[in-house]
Amino acid sequence: MSRQDIFQDALQRVREIGADAGVAPEVIAELMHPKAMLTATLPVRMDDGSTRYFVGYRCRYNTVLGPTKGGVRYHPQVTQAEVQALALWMTIKCAVVGLPYGGAKGGVNVQPKELSPLELERLSRAYVRAMADFIGPNIDIPAPDVYTNARIMGWMMDEYEAIHRVRAPGVITGKPIALGGSLGREEATGRGAYLVTMELIRRQGLDPKQLRVAVQGLGNAGYHVARLLQLEGMRIVALSDSRGGIHAEQGFDVDSIWKEKQSSRRVRAVYCAQSVCELVEHQQISNQELLGLDVDILIPAALEGVITPDNVDQVRAPYIIEVANGPILSDAESVLLERGTVIVPDVLANAGGVTVSYFEWVQNRSGYAWTLDEVRERLAEVMTRAFGEVWQVAADEERSLRSAAYARAFRRIGDAVGAHGTREYFQEGRQQD
The CA distance from 58 to 3, in Å, is: 16
SS (H, E, C) the chain: CCCCCHHHHHHHHHHHHHHHCCCCHHHHHHHCCCCEEEEEEEEEECCCCCEEEEEEEEEECCCCCCCEEEEEEEECCCCHHHHHHHHHHHHHHHHHHCCCCEEEEEEEECCHHHCCHHHHHHHHHHHHHHHCCCCECCCEEEEECCCCCHHHHHHHHHHHHHHHCCCCHHHCCCCCHHHCCCCCCCCHHHHHHHHHHHHHHHHHCCCHHHCEEEEECCCHHHHHHHHHHHHCCCEEEEEEECCEEEECCCCCCHHHHHHHHHHHCCCCCEEEECCEEEECCCEEECHHHHHCCCCCEEEECCCCCCECCCCHHHCCCCEEECCCCCCECHHHHHHHHHHCCEEECHHHHCCHHHHHHHHHHHHHHHCCCCCHHHHHHHHHHHHHHHHHHHHHHHHHHCCCHHHHHHHHHHHHHHHHHHHCCCHHHHHHHHHHC
Q: How far is CA 212 from the centre of its chain?
A: 23
Annotated catalytic residue within 35, 69, 93, 105 = 105
Distances (CA, A) of 32 to 7, 44, 367, 369, 400: 10, 34, 37, 38, 22
Any idea what the Cα angle at residue 397 is, between residues 386 and 335, rounded to 5°?
90
The reply to whether 175 belongs to the active site is no
265 phi/psi in degrees, rounded to 5: 65, 20
Amino acid (one-letter) located at 333: E
Which one-letter amino acid corresponds to residue 190? G
Burial class (CB in 10 A: 0-12, 13-18, 19+), 179: middle
Report residue 35: phi and psi, to 5°. -70, -45
The residues with which 57 forms a beta bridge, in sequence order, are: 39, 107
Enzyme catalytic residues: 105
